[in-house]
Amino acid sequence: MSSSVPSFDSLDKIYDPSALLKQGARYNNLVAQFEKLHGRKAEFVVRSPGRVNLIGEHIDYCGFGVLPMAIERDVVIVGATTDDDTKVRVANSNESKYPAREFDYEGKEKVVTIDSSMLEWSNYFKCGYKGMLEKFQLDKPKGLFLLVDGTVPAGGGLSSSAAFVCASALAVVTANKLDISKTELTEIAIVAERNVGVNSGGMDQSASVLSEKDFALHVEFVPKLHTSLVPLPKTTPKLAFIIANTLVTADKFVTAPRNYNLRVVETHMAALFLSKVLGLPSVDTLKEVYDLYYKDSKLNEIERFSDLLAKAIELFPKDNTNGNGYTLEEVAEMIGVPVQEFQDKYMTRFPVETDYFRLVQRTKHVLSEASRVIEFHAACESSDASLKTLGDLMNASQDSCRDLFMCSCPEINQVCEIARNHGSYGSRLSGAGWGGSTVHLTTEDNVPKLIEAIKNEFYRKAYPNITEEELDDAIIATKPCGGAAIYTGF
């Protein structure tokens, strides 16, 4: 049984010292705004953060672990309760963009109606509300007065939606004085977010709830969700991370058949082929291949990845396209499954468009990236952990994402190059890629210089009309922060 969500009476248990002045003013303003808006005293304050993935890209759906950390940007909810009714009155500090909403409890069976076809900000609160009340089956939950304030930029690949759902679930728990562990909160939030049509694997919610200040989080999915804290090196000057959103958005509906969906299918194909030629039971994720093949092995994890990668390169047949991959017919023959049967199972629900399937490149990326996650974790725990070692792994990850998994884009490549030229030890895309955010490892003293260089050499050239407010949302400095918490010091 994991511990319950922590309560803190001081913000320095949650945020880095460099953020305390700003966060203190923010919390005071929110409590004052709440009391003015709802005409009553605040009774509780909860928060849950966004996250950035430090290393481990496009390997979660192959079954391998990833290594995110919680960031300073978060969702804070100030609340008060009433026994007079079961209504929820939820307002947002940015009222012009997110108008106040009101809804009522609809009973134990339904809890609340969520129309996922509507892009509606309060749906994310309803997800957390529904998830918790489905679990606890209360006859009469408290009526709620709430004020939400989010600083995680929406659509920036930093999991603003997971932060909001986790904070909402925690607000419902706190208001109704319910007893729940951090692990249960995480598991409920993972399922709850699916009510708005987001089918997430669990990394985002795990990082938001289970992270601790000054630690990253190693999240593993097989055989079940498991997390371990990863201590980041204590260096002088201190390490810091910069997150820079390229502001390039890939329309998932348009590009997924050629990008995301295709990569998922290619990794399934690779696993089916390797399980066949290695004499294993037929499995369709590379983690299953890895686990089955090495179940009695004396090799360590990193040696296993090297060994499997060498064997895979040897076993894949030479293609007839000068390195561009195999046709669907060739893959079907390689895995011993009729084309139609494969299409029905793997290419119907999520459409795929391509002439060739690049199984060798995708396998090289997945196995080397999964190894880098283990190496990153090990480097953090070694007595001589250096930023250069971590940075080299992040840079190798970016090279692999760009050249082997082909999920980078010119803007990501450009931002990473600028950052490395101005004191970043390691720079890589973070999130699915094809746009979105980048993450950069540097030192605290270099943060202003690095931010200014990226603003001048990328943003102001690529987006000449960008405002200062948009810039502040696009590029942020952060340290590894604490996960979900209840704040009592107001």
Q: What are the pLDDT digits (tens) for 37-86? A: 999 999 999 999 999 999 999 999 999 999 999 999 999 999 999 999 99
Q: How far, in Å, CA of 398 to CA of 428, rounded? A: 5
pLDDT band (50, 70, 90) for residue 252: low
- Residue linked to tokens 């260089």: 453
Q: Which range (186-195, 261-270, 396-405) has the least confidence?
A: 186-195
Residue 422, pLDDT above cutoff 80: yes
Q: If you compute the radius of gyration of the chain from its CA atoms, what whole number of angstroms results?
A: 23
* 18 neighbors 481 (Cβ within 8 angstroms): no
Note the maximum CA span of the chain: 73
CA 2 to mean position of chain CA atoms: 21
Mark out the alpha helices in 66-159 (DSSP H runs): 122-136
What is the token pair recorded at 119? 């892009």
* CA geometry: angle 187, 183, 385, nearest 5 deg: 115
**pLDDT grade, residue 1 (50/70/90)?**
very low
Q: How many H-runs (helices) and E-runs (strands) does the chain carry?
A: 17, 13
CB 293, CB 280: distance < 8 Å: yes
The answer to whether residues 67 and 56 touch, using CB atoms and an 8 Å cutoff, is yes
Q: Which of 144, 191, 165 is nearest to 34 (CA)?
A: 144
| First vs last C-alpha separation in the chain | 30
Active-site position among 74, 149, 204, 284: 204
Q: Mean pLDDT for the chain?
A: 94
Residue 97 CB partners (closer than 8 Å, separation 6+): none
Alpha carbon of residue 293 to chain centroid? 29
- Does the pLDDT of residue 270 top 60, yes or no? yes
Higher pLDDT, 19 or 373: 373
Average pLDDT over residues 252-269: 87
For residue 73, report the phi and psi dihedrals to the nearest 5 degrees: -65, 135
Backbone angles phi, psi at 464, to 5 degrees: -60, -25
Q: Give the E-state strand segments of 58-190 in sequence order.
A: 67-82, 87-92, 101-104, 143-150
Q: Which of 78-82, 329-333, 473-477 has the lowest mean pLDDT?
A: 473-477
pLDDT of residue 253: 60
Residues 6 or more apart in contact with residue 406 via CB below 8 angstroms: 358, 361
Among 73, 67, 54, which residue's Cα sits nearest to residue 428?
54
Question: Residue with structure tokens 């050499």?
Answer: 457
Q: How many CB atoms lie within 10 A of CB 416?
A: 26
- pLDDT value of residue 255: 80
Mean pLDDT of 133-151: 97
In sequence order, what are the residues at sequence separation of 6 or more whose Cβ sits closer than 8 angstroms to the Cβ of residue 323? none
Determine the Cα–Cα distance for residues 482 and 211; give it in Å rounded to an integer. 5
CA 405/CA 260 separation, integer angstroms: 10
Strands 226-231, 67-82: pairing kind: unpaired
Strands 143-150 and 7-8: unpaired
Active site residue 149: no
What does DSSP say about strands 437-443 and 239-245: parallel, antiparallel, or unpaired? antiparallel
Give the C-alpha distances (Å, rounded to integers) separating 247 from 68, 126, 158, 164, 449.
21, 28, 13, 21, 21
User: From CA 57, how far away is CA 182, in angstroms rounded?
Assistant: 25
- The reported pLDDT for the residue numbered 233 is 92
pLDDT of residue 200: 67
Q: Does position 326 have pLDDT exceeding 70, yes or no?
A: yes
- Encode burial over 424-441: b for 16+ CB neighbours within 10 A, e otherwise: bbbbbbbbbbbbbbbbbb
User: Which run of H or E residues covers position 478?
Assistant: strand 475-478
Share of the chain above pLDDT 70, in %: 98
Angular region, 73: left φ>0, alpha ψ -120 to 50, beta rest = beta
Residue where the block lists tokens 């974790």: 377
User: Cα–Cα distances in Å, from 113 out to 106, 191, 253?
Assistant: 8, 16, 25
For residue 90, the cross-strand partners are 101, 146
Residue (of 360, 369, 285) closest to 317 by Cα position: 360
- Provide the token pair at 215: 């630690």
- What is the average per-residue pLDDT within 228-251? 91
pLDDT bracket for residue 338 (50, 70, 90):
very high
104 conformational bin, left if phi > 0, alpha if psi -120 to 50, beta if neither:
beta
Cα 73–Cα 77–Cα 78 angle in degrees, nearest 5: 130
Peptide bond connecting 17 to the previous residue in cis, omega within 30 degrees of 0: no
What does the block give as tokens for 227? Answer: 């997390």
pLDDT tens digit sequence for 60-69 = 999 999 999 9
